[in-house]
Amino acid sequence: MASNLILSSLQVNASQIPSAFEFYDSRFLNITGSAPKLEVLLEKDFPFAHEASVFIPSTNDLFVTSNFVTNPVTSEKTIKISRVNTTASPVTSEVINSTIPLANGGVNHGGGILFCGQGTMNQTGGLFQMSTEPPYETQTVVTGFYGREFDSLNDVVVHADGSFWFTDPTYGYLQGIRPKPQLPNQVYRYDPATGNVRVVADGFGRPNGITFSPDEKIVYITDTARTVGDGSTDNTKPATIYAFDVTFSNGEPFLTNRRVFAMADTGIPDGIKTDMDGNVYAGCGDGINVWSSGGVLLGKILIEDGVSNFSFGRNGQLFIMNEEKLWSAQLGRWVKGSLLKI
């Protein structure tokens, strides 16, 4: 494990590390190693690399969702899903045909991808299972809470027990893509085996990213209420990662012991992941911020204009969403994301 590595002092090594890697704690060297790299893999003329960032190990493809793209004729807002060939030289991408209504976050599941669909003014959002091969067949999984439509699902993660945990902020309404909300800003758990959907956490301004610790005993959820959703920001609102313990009562999981894990000093903590050592990574206003499992800021991977989401590839590679640009950060090859464990 990275924690067992013996590395030279921060003062000696940091001088030879690219300036994009900013150190706050010498333990960050156990993540970056002595020769990290940062490069642009692909650049397009529209914000194709905004959310999702789902790496498919069997094909080395990366599926990403765009930010809003406005049709110049109809003024309709759309979101495009792109399939990126990460092994091509140069890296290439293609926009795929998808029926998911305004796709956003996603995660590997069942040989395909479990996507959050935000929905539109005329289409219900929810969770959707999509194949990773043409014609990209899609199945609707769940669209609401017992008759009340979700607002605009943002991000999702799959637990080892097969359940889906996801966030549903009211951004859709505030951005003019969804009707007036029927539900509060909440976090849900859906059991595909029984069809049961439960509220597992509330009290958020805008719940956004979600992930588990490697042992799945902790859930990390970002609250991005600093970004109001109507184009404005409010510095008195949360830009915060909360941690919850996953505990059991009467055979069912509950989230308990809510606590502040960390606050982003620049922008908001959007997409969030952990590595196998329990370190916590989040896309923030200045790039990728990395905290220890104890909530100490270890370092940053600085990227101008910030990062919305990202994913781990193989052997310490990060695929980083930066709107018109897709970046790759090469960390120590021993670093493995806790979702794919590769």
Q: What percent of the chain has a predicted confidence (pLDDT) above 90?
A: 94
Span 288-314, average pLDDT: 98
For residue 193, the model assigns a pLDDT of 97
Structure tokens at 2: 């990275």
Pick from 192, 172, 168: nearest CA to 180: 172
Q: Which residues contact 306 (CB under 8 A, 6 or more apart)?
A: 266, 267, 283, 284, 285, 286, 287, 322
10 Å CB burial of residue 8 (0-12, 13-18, 19+) is exposed
Domain 47-274+282-289 has CATH 2.120.10.30: yes
Q: Which residues contact 57 (CB under 8 A, 6 or more apart)?
A: 314, 340, 342
10 Å CB burial of residue 266 (0-12, 13-18, 19+) is middle
Cβ pair 307, 300 in contact under 8 A: no
Domain ranges of the chain: 47-274+282-289
pLDDT at 197 over 90: yes
pLDDT tier for residue 15 given thresholds of 50, 70 and 90: low
For residue 4, the model assigns a pLDDT of 38
pLDDT tens, position by position, 138-171 = 999 999 999 999 999 999 999 999 999 999 999 9
**What whole-number distance in Å separates Cα of residue 63 and Cα of residue 291?**
26
pLDDT at 204 over 70: yes
For residue 333, the model assigns a pLDDT of 98
Span 283-300, average pLDDT: 98
For residue 10, the model assigns a pLDDT of 46
pLDDT tens, position by position, 205-216 = 999 999 999 999
pLDDT tier for residue 268 given thresholds of 50, 70 and 90: very high
Span 75-101, average pLDDT: 96
pLDDT tier for residue 71 given thresholds of 50, 70 and 90: confident
For residue 16, the model assigns a pLDDT of 81
Span 300-326, average pLDDT: 98
**What whole-number distance in Å separates Cα of residue 33 and Cα of residue 209?**
27
Q: Is the peptide bond before 90 cis (omega within 30 degrees of 0)?
A: yes
